[in-house]
Structures are given as structure tokens and as C-alpha cells.
Chain A
Amino acid sequence: MIPPAFDYTRPATVDEAVRALADAGDEGKVLAGGQSLLPLLRLRLAFPELVVDVGRIPGLRGVREVGDSLTIGALTTHHEVIRDPLVRRYAGLLAAATATVADPAVRHRGTLGGSLAHADPAGDLPAVMLALDGELVAVGPRGRRTIPAREFFVDYLQSALTADELLVEVRIPKADGWGFHYEKFQRVAQAWAIVGVAALVRRDNGHIAEARVGLTNMGSTPLRASAAEAALSGAGDPDAVARAAQEAAEGTRPAQDTSASPEYRAHLARVLTKRAVLTAAGMG
């Protein structure tokens, strides 16, 4: 559990961080809370030449209300997200899902931006960001750009960020009035999800007017269960929800690993989508 040798720098500003990353070319790695990077280093699965510790850059932490959105600094820890009153009020799904991340020690160090930039499809927050239709703001040598969550997760552990870009904040449209639930299925409490389902439901007259369903660990990226979402529209009772949830695994390509087969993951996606949507819609 000894990492390979690397250089380390701790920039004081976003600009310094971007410059350090640009200088390192493809050999730099951003360190925020360290909860994903350090295990990779210690298992010698990552060999960066330079680790850029952004942990002390001021202004990248905290939650602000900006018009119809919340803006959350990339360095805001999971613990802070869970407790933040704005998040709880306008993005309850994010607070609920974040509360299931790993264990308290990880939640006190790990950051929202870090877990999104890591782009692990087994992480809980990428699928949540998809369901919330969030946006991610990055700064690079060519300036600032905003990336919709739907375009951010490119492949397994690969985001749309270029090697010289730093994720600085996350924007989430307010979703008050929507019902939500994150249904996580894991073998032990601190483990990654075998499958997770993030459900966001707007009801109208006792029927589901709109449902958004994000899937954790059902492919090389987080996914939206689009077929199920379409089928859920107009569902007015638990049976209709259950029928619609049968579509939850459409278009997914879940992995085979020691914790589950693809077949079982597809089955779980259907069961958990039913449960998540029923709870989110207050029908459970």
C-alpha cells in the first residue's frame, strides 16, 4: 500500500492549479478530498507524475442560491452537502443520496466535485446529477465552460474534463416540489452500490407528470433510464409504476464483477426503480 513516487504541489488559486495541470500534460492528477485518488495510488493503479492538491484553494466550498439554481463549490464535502439547508430544501435527492456514500469518515473528507470528476459509474452522485439535470463548471487555460451532466460522463472513470481543466462548481436547478428517493443496493453498509436508482418525480393530480430516473452502476457511465421515464409518464397507481419500471434496464450494459452478474444487475434495476419511484411519488 505504498504509492509510487510523485511530485506534489499545492496551488493557492484556481489559475495556479490550472497552470500546474497544463504544465503536467497528461501526467497530472487533481487531489481534492483524496477518497478516490489515494486508494488508486496506494494500490498502484494510478501513476501520476504530479499530484495537484486543490484542497486549500479558497472560494471552492459552500452552497449559494443563484436564481433558479443552486451553485455548489466543488470542494464542498459530502458531510456539508448533507447538512446544507439550501440543498435539503431545493435538492433533497442530492442530500439523500450523499448520506448513503461510504461511511462517515469518507463523507467528512470526500467532496462533491471530486466524486463527480472521478466519474465512477458505481459512485452514487453521478447518477443523481444526471437525474437532477445538473451542470458542471470547469476552468481551464482557455477559460471557463459549463458542461451539462448529460455530456459530462464520457466513459468508465472518464469525464469530459480535459487534463488541464479543474472542476470548480456544480449547478443544480431547484427541484422543490418534486418527490425524490435514492434507492441504493449494496452488500455491506460502506460498500459501493451494486445498483442504485435516483428517482425524481413531479406529480400532477395523483398521476406522475414527469419522472427522471438516474441509474448507478448499470454501465460504464451513469445512465438515465429513458425508456422507463417515458413509460412512467401518466402512471397513476403502483401497478402502472411497476409495469413502467420493467423498462429500467433498457439500453444498459452493466458489468460483471465479484458482487454481481449483469443479469442480476438488470433485475435489480427494475426492482429498485419500482421502489424508488413509488417512494418518490408517495405511492410506496
Chain B
Amino acid sequence: MSGTVEREVGRPRLRKEDARLITGQTNWTDNISVNGLLHVAILRSPMAHSRLDRVDVSAALDRPGVVAAFSGADLAEGLGSLPCAWPVTEDIVLPDHPPIAVDEVRYAGDPVAVVVARDRYAAADALEAIEVDYTPLPPVLDLEAALAEGAPLVHSDKGTNRCYDWPLKTGEDFDSVRECAEVTLKRRYHQQRLIPNAMEPRAVVVTPLAASGEYTVYSATQIPHILRVMLSVVTGVPEHKLRVVAPDVGGGFGSKLQVYGEEAIALTLARRLGRPVKWTESRSEGYLATHHGRGMIQDVEIAANRDGKLLGLKVDLLADMGAYLMLVTPGIPILGAFMYPAIYKMDSYDFTCTGVFTTRTPTDAYRGAGRPEATYAIERIMDDLAAELDLDPVELRHRNWIGHEDFPYTSIAGLTYDSGNYEAATEKALALFGYDKLRAEQADRNERGDAVRLGIGVSTYTEMCGLAPSRVLRDLRYAAGGWEAATIRMLPTGKVEVVTGTSPHGQGHVTCWSQIAADVLGVPFEDVEVVHGDTMAAPQGMDTYGSRSLVVGGSAVHHAALKVVEKARKVAAHLLEASEHDLEFTDGVFSVKGSPDARKTIQEVAFETFSSHDLPDGMAPTINAEYLVDPDNFSYPHGTHLCAVEVDTETGRTRIRSYVCVDDVGRVVNPAIVEGQVHGGLAQGIAQALFEEAVYDEEGNLLSGTMADYLVPSAADLPDFVTDRTETPSSTNPLGVKGVGEAGTIASTPAAVNAVVDALRPLGVRDVRMPCTPERVWQTLREAAR
């Protein structure tokens, strides 16, 4: 493989996907149309919590174009509870979750009835004819109040709003560590609720083949394979009669890592009516009905010596589950549980998470899933500790982080970090940022009492990527495994099909998997196509989430390609009448050492094995290969992010002046794609810090119910990002890759908020709650001045 052809891995290849995507030749689920297609509209609860006394759909049936209408009770038979695949404790409270409410609605947006009509307009209009009698019940909104004695209950049959308590205590006892510590700090941080906002709203189309009882489900999903299993369980349609296709999918950020009621409803309707059906959400409908992210109260306590040495960390979380447990709802804070100690050495760690039911849209995975929350808490309190000890925040981190010579390193939380070099990334970031110069300007402005203050925010991070080890997932009580599959098909004409179990929705797998396969097989990048997102064409896989695809799925492609070469070598040796061991393989050509004219290209070998006229005795036809990977550890990317903000103390507005990040995501397959992932991640993380929040009123209605009220920043609101990398290969996979999908989101939120607080600390401010809106900053300053 050390030939003259440039290696594909490491090249900033333009994405194969883009020509089609940017010229509109796309196949979004909502673009799919078939003969006789019917359209589904869903009536949703306008109230957060209410008894359903009567749901009467009969008047809707009289509306023009309406084919059918059903209440929750009408569809209850044959439509089971939506699944939760991650019951994190043995005694977790697991409420029933009907796809359409039957006797009680538990969040504003909970489905109440459905209409099926000949077009979307008729379906939407007919919703207005459905009569519902509601008896309001008290909303449950505040996490602490929900746990109090006598609080109104989200699920009255369960007798409690407490979903679970999940503890993790490692190292020395925190109470004794606290007693000996020279300094302890206690802080409360709020992770506001966020709405994921994938560019493409959710949609589902189900086409039935009535005679054979087969169904094809097209869905804007991240998880066609998991969805197939789960839809079979929920609806009773046998799994082998179900095909799930994820066509072009326009973003997910975790929001499409879900088994949604609408998917089960559409399948059930197609089955009942024997007709194809489609449902597409509107943006404002999605704001209510697509799961939300974050939503936690974090009580954090840190113990240290006056020289800055960390001794221990205590974290008590209240995590908002929302009204129901969806696919991995309870597990999200647990993914973070192991990450609070972050890159630091300490002797004691004491973590507890309490899951709490509320009458709001269910929460679940959102870009980073648990890890941004953990990183936020530790990096915020590290900055506060630095201020308390009058140490530079970078210096405090330096005194505590794991040295590059210490890897592999088992953290206090029990994870074994594979590799890293925090010193190198930090040093590079500081240089790019001009740290010392900015500190000098900050001091100058503070001294002058400038109305516009400068703040510098530091955040380091590491995260666990590449979900992955199935045995670890078992120990965490996650229902599925974390393996991944790839198949490589060498076509008779020498072209290559890579079949992957990952399911891209914007990540560029087609490009990256082509690069990986091209290198191993010695074929041109252009000769590789990637097949994905269809349980019939790519039947095995665990799909795409948690920065796992390259680490696990990419490794599977790499291994499968090696397997192809291994068999091709045997065939080539046979054809060249040479010993396998005398063959070299360079740039796709097998040649006999010492006789360069005796050669066979891998394409020629592929054709020979297709015809199978002349194979070694006992060898099966084709050199196609399948490989399944189940790594024995996660991978741990890391990085150092630095953010400079200017805060206008008159208006409270924060403007990001510069942002520098140096990420170490291991080896890089495609630097352009990595940079894109980092940019998007930074935007999304900064959005949490400064802009976005799902706001509810006292009755539990979502006030930020459209994009006019829920403020997603655009390029105009963000600075030019300076992104760079260090490259410390992972030791847990053959590619040395670590995962990059969530990195930007994880580090940028604390970096930005640390910068805001750093700007205002001389004015007596210790914390600003997220999002740091201008008004909130202004109010915080007024309170500090009092």
C-alpha cells in the first residue's frame, strides 16, 4: 500500500454527496409520492396535562376528502407502547407510552387523534372538526417541586414523579475528602431545554403490499435498523415483513435517533387501510412533538488544595425526562456521568442522577447527549475555582490534567482513555488565540472601566465516542449492542460497492467510506459507491449517533476491505502460479517479487472470481467480504477551545470577538469534513450558550413555538472560527480515528459562558444562566451592582 498513488485517507476530498444535494436532486421522505397516497394529520393536545373525557372524530369524517379518522382508543388495539431501550436501573419507573393518548395527555403536543385524507390540506382542515372534552390536570414543570411530597403526578398510577436514582461513587469517600480540602466550591448550573432543529423536519411514508402483508417504511430517521426491530415490536408486524428505508435525511443531531409514535401510527394506518400513507411534520409541530434535549439542574461541588490540586468532585443531577421515556431518554445523563471528571486527575468522585417526569415534551439525545452537560459543569466550576484561587484558568487546568505520558489512563470514573495530548493541543490553541495579548487588553479595559468588557473563556474537554463496546453497553443496561457491519462487493467490472450499517444524515459517509476502501483496495476513489440506509440493501447495522460511525463503521469498512485483499491475494497467487508470500500488493496490483511483469490487478482478480472459472480447489466464488466490528473500548477525542467575547454592559449584549479551537480527533480521513463538523458543532454549542431556549409558560405551553421565538443563530451571528488540530491516533481501532460529530458542541458552550462570566467578574458577577441573553446579562449586572 506504499505505492505512488496518493493516499485517499487524509485528503480534503469534496463530498460525493454534494452535487446531488445542492442541485435539489434529493430524495427526502416528504418528496416520496406513490399512487393512492393518503395524508395523515395529527390533532395534538393544546394543554400540558389533561384528562381526555371524550374524543369524537365523527364530524371529521364528514369533511371533504377525509378517508378515515381515529382516536387513541380506536387505534389502541394493535398499537403497543413506544419503547425505551435504556432502563438505566432495575427499579426504574417505566410508564406506558401510547403513540396516541387514550385517556390522558401529558404534554402540549401529545397526539390525541388522527385524520387520513386524500391530500394534506383536507387532512389539516378536518382536524378542526374533531371534538375533544378535556378536564385539565395540574401541570408538572419544576424539577424540584415535582419531587416534593404531595406534588401532582405526571403518571398517577406510578405514585411518583421520580423516574430513577442512578449513583456512581468511585475513589475515596467524598465527604472525607471535602473535610480535608483547603478549598471547596459549590455551584448550581442550569442546562436549559433545547430544540434540536434538524434542517429537514421529520416525515414518514408507509407503503403496504396487502397480499403478502409486507410494508416499506420510509422515514427521516438516523436509525433504520433499530427502527425496524422496534416497529415490529410496537405494531406486531413481523420483522421479516418490514423494510425500513432512510432516504436522504437532512440532519438529526440526535432528534432522529428515535422510534416515534408517528412512525408507528403511519404503519398501523397503512395496515388498517391497506393504502400508502404519509405524515410530514411542520416546524412548529416538530417543536412540540420531536424530542427535546438537555434540561437539567446540576449541583456541583469541587474540593481542592490552595495550590489548585483537585481532590474530588461531587455531582447531583436532576434530569428532566419530560412526560415519557423514549428510546434512550433515561440514559442521556448517564452517558455524561462518566465524563464529569473530564481530563483531570482526582481522588474522589461522587455522582448521582435523579430522573424526573414533567408534563413537557420528552427529552432524549441531542448532539453530545450528556457529555456537553458534563463538560459544561466541570469547565464552569474549574473557571470559578481558578478565580477563587487567583490562578490563571489555563494554569489550573494544566496542574490537574492527565499528562500525555500517562496514557492509557483510567479516569476516576473508571473509563480508560486511549490516548491524548492535552499539553500540545492547549499550547497550539493559546498561540493561535494570542492569549497573553488579549489578557493585557482585558486588564486595560477593566482598569479604564470601559463600558464594553472583554472576557476570555477557556474550555478543555474529552468525550467518549464510538458507541461501541457491546459488553459495556450491557453493563449500563442498554438493550442493544454497539457493533457495526460492512460488506464490500467487488463488481465484475472492477467497481466497488461498500455496504455499511451506518446511516448518514449529513455526515458524508459516502465520501469517507470511499476514501477508506479506495486506500485498502488500491482502486480509484471514484470507483467506489456506498450503499446505506435501507434494511433490504444493507441489512446489518446499528446506525448513526454518538460520533460512532467512523470509529466503528469506518473500521468495519477497513477490515472488510482487508479481507477482500486477503482472498484476492490467494486468487492472484493461483493465477500467477506463485506463492502467496511472494506477492506484493501496491496501488491495486498484485505482482511477484522480482518479476514485475507477472501481475494481476485487483479488478482482474475480481472478474476471475466472478466467472469463477479458475479458482483454487475448494475456494468459494467471489472476493466479496463482510466484516463485523465490536471494539473493546470507546475512543476519546479531546481539545482546547478559547473564546473571546465583548460584553456591552449598557445593553447586556455579548459579541464573540474571536474563537479558536484545537481539537484532537485522532487520525483524520477527510479534513474538510472534519472542519465542517467542528464549525457546525461550534455554532450549535454557542447557540446553547447565548441564544436558544425552549421557554414554557406556567401552564406548560411552549412559548418559543416557532423559529421567530426560538432563536437559532445564523452565520451572521457567529464569528469566523479558527480551527486547528493535533493528531494523536486512537489505539482502539485500526484507523486511529476518534470521532468528531459532537466535539464542537461539547466544548463551545462552556468556552462561551466562561468568557461572558470572565468579562463580568470584575463587576461582581459569578454566573450567568444560559442562554446568556442581553436582558439576562443586564439583569445580572444590576443585581451584582446592588
* A258-B704 in contact given A188-B717, A189-B716 (Cβ < 8 Å): yes
| B785 touches A (CB below 8 Å) | no
| B706 touches A (CB below 8 Å) | yes
Q: Using C-beta atoms within 8 Å of the partner chain, give the interface range for chain A.
A: 20 to 34
Q: CA A191 – CA B709 in complex, angstroms?
A: 9
Chain B nearest CB from A195 CB (Å) reads 10
| A230 touches B (CB below 8 Å) | no
CB closest residue in chain A, given B775 = A264
Q: CA A267 – CA B648 in complex, angstroms?
A: 14
Chain B nearest CB from A227 CB (Å) reads 20
Residues on A with beta carbons closer than 8 Å to the beta carbon of B651: 185, 268, 271-272
Q: Is the CB of A271 within 8 A of B711?
A: no
Q: CA A187 – CA B717 in complex, angstroms?
A: 9
CB closest residue in chain A, given B648 = A271
Residues on B with beta carbons closer than 8 Å to the beta carbon of A189: 714, 716-717
Q: Is the CB of A188 within 8 A of B712?
A: yes
Stretch of A1-9, A144-152, A164-172 on the interface side: A1-9
Q: Is the CB of B284 within 8 A of A1?
A: yes
Main secondary structure on A side of the interface with B = loop
Q: Is the CB of B711 within 8 A of A188?
A: yes
From A4, A42, A188, A194, B713 is in contact (CB under 8 Å) with A188
Stretch of B117-125, B269-277, B581-589 on the interface side: B117-125
| B18 touches A (CB below 8 Å) | no
CB closest residue in chain A, given B650 = A271
Q: CA A129 – CA B365 in complex, angstroms?
A: 48
Q: CA A261 – CA B775 in complex, angstroms?
A: 8
Q: CA A2 – CA B650 in complex, angstroms?
A: 42
Q: CA A268 – CA B777 in complex, angstroms?
A: 13
CB closest residue in chain B, given A264 = B775
Residues on A with beta carbons closer than 8 Å to the beta carbon of B703: 258
**Considering the complex, which residues of chain A in the window 231-284 have a beta carbon less than 8 Å from any beta carbon of chain B?**
258-261, 264, 267-268, 271-272
Q: CA A186 – CA B774 in complex, angstroms?
A: 9
Q: Is the CB of A1 within 8 A of B711?
A: no
Q: Is the CB of B708 within 8 A of A187?
A: no
| A162 touches B (CB below 8 Å) | no
Q: Is the CB of A1 within 8 A of B714?
A: no
Q: CA A144 – CA B284 in complex, angstroms?
A: 41
Residues on B with beta carbons closer than 8 Å to the beta carbon of A258: 695, 703-704, 709
Q: Is the CB of A2 within 8 A of B124?
A: yes
Q: CA A272 – CA B648 in complex, angstroms?
A: 12
CB closest residue in chain B, given A271 = B650
Residues on A with beta carbons closer than 8 Å to the beta carbon of B708: 39, 191-192
Chain B nearest CB from A259 CB (Å) reads 8
CB closest residue in chain B, given A195 = B651
| A154 touches B (CB below 8 Å) | no
Residues on B with beta carbons closer than 8 Å to the beta carbon of A38: none
Residues on A with beta carbons closer than 8 Å to the beta carbon of B650: 271
Q: CA A188 – CA B692 in complex, angstroms?
A: 10
Q: CA A261 – CA B120 in complex, angstroms?
A: 39
Q: CA A192 – CA B708 in complex, angstroms?
A: 8
Q: CA A268 – CA B709 in complex, angstroms?
A: 19
| A13 touches B (CB below 8 Å) | no
Please name 20 further chain A to chain B contacts, defined as beta carbons within 8 Å, in addition to the given A4-B125, A185-B651, sorted by A numbering: A2-B282, A5-B125, A39-B708, A43-B284, A43-B706, A185-B774, A187-B691, A187-B774, A188-B691, A188-B711, A188-B712, A188-B714, A189-B714, A191-B708, A192-B708, A258-B695, A261-B775, A264-B775, A264-B778, A267-B778
The chain A residues found within 8 Å of chain B, CB to CB, are 1-2, 4-5, 39, 42-43, 103, 185, 187-192, 194, 258-261, 264, 267-268, 271-272
**Can you list 21 A-B pairs with a CB-CB distance of less than 8 A?**
A1-B285, A2-B120, A2-B121, A2-B282, A5-B121, A5-B125, A39-B708, A185-B651, A187-B691, A187-B773, A187-B774, A188-B716, A189-B717, A191-B708, A191-B711, A192-B708, A258-B695, A258-B704, A259-B709, A260-B775, A264-B775
The chain B residues found within 8 Å of chain A, CB to CB, are 120-121, 124-125, 282-285, 650-651, 653, 691, 695, 703-704, 706, 708-709, 711-714, 716-717, 773-775, 778-779
- Ranked 8 nearest A-B pairs via Cβ: A189-B716, A1-B282, A2-B124, A264-B775, A188-B711, A271-B650, A188-B717, A258-B703
